Amino acid sequence: MRILILGPQGSGKGTQANLLAAVYRIPHVATGDILREAAARGSELGRRVEPILDRGDLVPDDLMIDLIRERLEREDGFVLDGFPRTLPQAEALDATLDDIGKPLDAVILLEVSDDVATRRLQARAAEEGRADDSPEAIRNRLRLYHELTEAVVARYRSDSVLVAVDGEGSVEEVADQIEGALIRIGVRSR
C-alpha cells in the first residue's frame, strides 16, 4: 500500500499517518521527522537544515528530492507525510514513482481551517516545545502552506485517487473517515 497524506500543519497528518502505518504495516516516511533526527544527530545534512527548520522555512527542493528518492526506492509500501510541499517536489515525486513502477494507491487530504490549525499548533508548542512552534514560525509555516503547498493539493485534486477528509473531528472520527474513504476508492475492503 502506498499512501500520500496531505494537509496543513496542525491537520493531524502525523497522527493519522502513524495509525495508517500500523494498520497496513508500512513505514511512516515523515520528512519533518527525518530532518529533525538529522539535526539532532548533528550530521552534515542536519547542520545544514537546522536553522531552516527553526525558522519554519522550507529546505531547498533539490535536497529534499534527492533524500526522498533515495528513501522511496528502498520501500515497497509507505505512508508519505510532509512531501511534496512544492510543485517541483510533486513533479519529482510523480517522476520517481513512475521510474520505479510504484504508483500511489491513495492521496488523503486532511482539511482544517487556519484557526483550528493555529490552536492545535499552539497547544502542541506548550507540550512539546518544538523550536518551530514559536508564534512567528507557526505563521511562517502556514503562510508557506498557502503560498506553495496548496498548488500541490490542486495538482492531486484532479487525480481520482485523492480523497478529502474533514480533519477537525477527534482522532478516532478522522481515522474512521479515512477508512471509509479508502473503502470507497476500492483500496481497502470491509
Structure-block grid coordinates of residue 86:
512544492
Structure-block grid coordinates of residue 73:
526506492
Is residue 102 annotated as part of the catalytic site, yes or no?
no
The residue written with cell numbers 470507497 in the block is 184
Q: Which is nearer to ligand ADP, 125 or 185 (CB)?
A: 125
Q: Which is nearer to ligand ADP, 89 or 118 (CB)?
A: 89
Structure-block grid coordinates of residue 127:
507540550
Is residue 120 annotated as part of the catalytic site, yes or no?
no
**Catalytic choice (48, 55, 102, 130):** 130
Q: What is the DSSP letter of 84?
A: -
Angle, CA of 94, 1 and 142, to the nearest 5°? 55
Question: Binding residues for ligand ADP, per CB under 6 A?
Answer: 9, 31-32, 35, 52-53, 56-59, 64, 82-83, 85, 89, 132, 141
Angle, CA of 86, 89 and 92, to the nearest 5°? 155
Q: Which is nearer to ligand ADP, 148 or 185 (CB)?
A: 148
**Catalytic choice (124, 139, 155, 188):** 124
Q: How far is the CB of 189 from ligand ADP (least distance, A)?
A: 31
Catalytic (active-site) positions: 13, 85, 124, 130, 141
